[in-house]
């Protein structure tokens, strides 16, 4: 069962909003057999031009689900984000299942969790580090890393190569293809 961390920016998170978020995001639980220590981080933002942005991040073992959506209606944004997350889950499951069929290797730990069914202020310098992120590298192959990168909507992704145990980076090239940087 997910735990929820619901934050609001320029909006008070009422019980009705919290209940709606938990009800909608909670529907994703049906895709998982066991989700230990899973916290759904939900950030709700309302802008002066009367639009609402919803960001949801759910870090799971072997997978980070993340989606965001902006629309004039907060509740519609929540619905759209949940739809995006469902598509990500289905895409990940399909990719892992296809890979296991092609290689003849049974599904690994990555699919074991599935069932079958704000930046700081800029003080003017171009070289200032305005945000720091810490991450733990998960062993995976380059295809899974590209999938993760695309799910997160990033242009690069750092991971531990499962074959070499070295740190590697996949990135999206300007021509739309992908590159891989391997370390010694």
Quote the pLDDT of residue 61.
73
Q: Do 64 and 57 form a contact (C-beta atoms < 8 A)?
A: yes
Query: What is the pLDDT confidence band of residue 31, given thresholds at 50, 70 and 90?
Result: confident
- 0.85 exceeded by pTM: no
Query: 47 pLDDT band (50/70/90 cuts)?
Result: confident
Q: pLDDT tier at 106 (50, 70, 90 boundaries)?
A: low
pLDDT for 53-81, tens place per residue?
Answer: 999 998 877 778 899 999 999 999 999 99
Contact assessment for residue 110 and residue 60, using Cβ atoms and an 8 Å cutoff? no
Whether 168 contacts 161, CB under 8 Å: yes
Contacts by 18-25, CB closer than 8 A, 24 or more apart: 20/75, 20/78, 21/78, 24/78, 24/79, 24/82, 25/56, 25/58, 25/78, 25/82, 25/85
pLDDT for 17 beyond 90: yes
**Cα 167 from Cα 152, distance rounded (Å):** 19
The hierarchical CATH code for the domain 134-184 is 3.30.505.50
**pLDDT the model gives residue 122:** 39
Sequence-distant (≥ 6) Cβ neighbours of residue 15 within 8 angstroms: none
**CATH code assigned to 1-115:** 3.30.160.100
Instruction: State the Cα–Cα distance between residues 55 and 43, nearest whole angstrom.
Output: 5
Residue in this structure with the two tokens 């990940």, named with its chain if needed: 92
Per-domain residue ranges of the chain: 1-115, 134-184
Instruction: Band the pLDDT of 121: cuts 50, 70, 90.
Output: very low
Beta strands in 27-145 (DSSP E): 39-46, 52-60, 63-71, 139-140
**Cβ neighbours, 10 Å, residue 141:** 14
Dihedrals phi, psi of 50, to nearest 5 degrees: 65, 35
Q: Could you give the CA distance from residue 3 to residue 144 in angstroms, rounded to a whole number?
A: 26
Instruction: Say what the pLDDT of residue 120 is.
Output: 32
């Amino acid at each position: 069962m997910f735990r929820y961390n619901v934050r609001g920016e320029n909006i008070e998170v009422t019980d009705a909003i919290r209940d709606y978020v938990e009800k909608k995001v909670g529907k994703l639980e049906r895709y998982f057999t066991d989700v230990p220590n899973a916290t759904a981080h939900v950030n709700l933002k309302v802008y002066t031009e009367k639009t609402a942005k919803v960001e949801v991040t759910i870090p799971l073992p072997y997978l980070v689900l993340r989606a965001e959506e902006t629309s004039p209606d907060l509740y519609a944004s929540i619905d759209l984000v949940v739809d995006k997350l469902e598509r990500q889950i289905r895409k990940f499951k399909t990719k892992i299942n296809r890979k296991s069929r092609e290689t003849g290797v049974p599904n690994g730990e990555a699919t074991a969790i599935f069932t079958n069914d704000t930046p700081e202020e800029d003080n003017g310098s171009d070289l200032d580090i305005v945000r720091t992120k810490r991450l733990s590298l998960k062993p995976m192959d380059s295809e899974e890393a590209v999938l993760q990168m695309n799910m997160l909507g990033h242009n690069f992704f750092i991971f531990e190569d499962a074959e070499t145990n070295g740190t590697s980076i996949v990135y999206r090239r300007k021509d739309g293809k992908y590159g891989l940087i391997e370390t010694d």
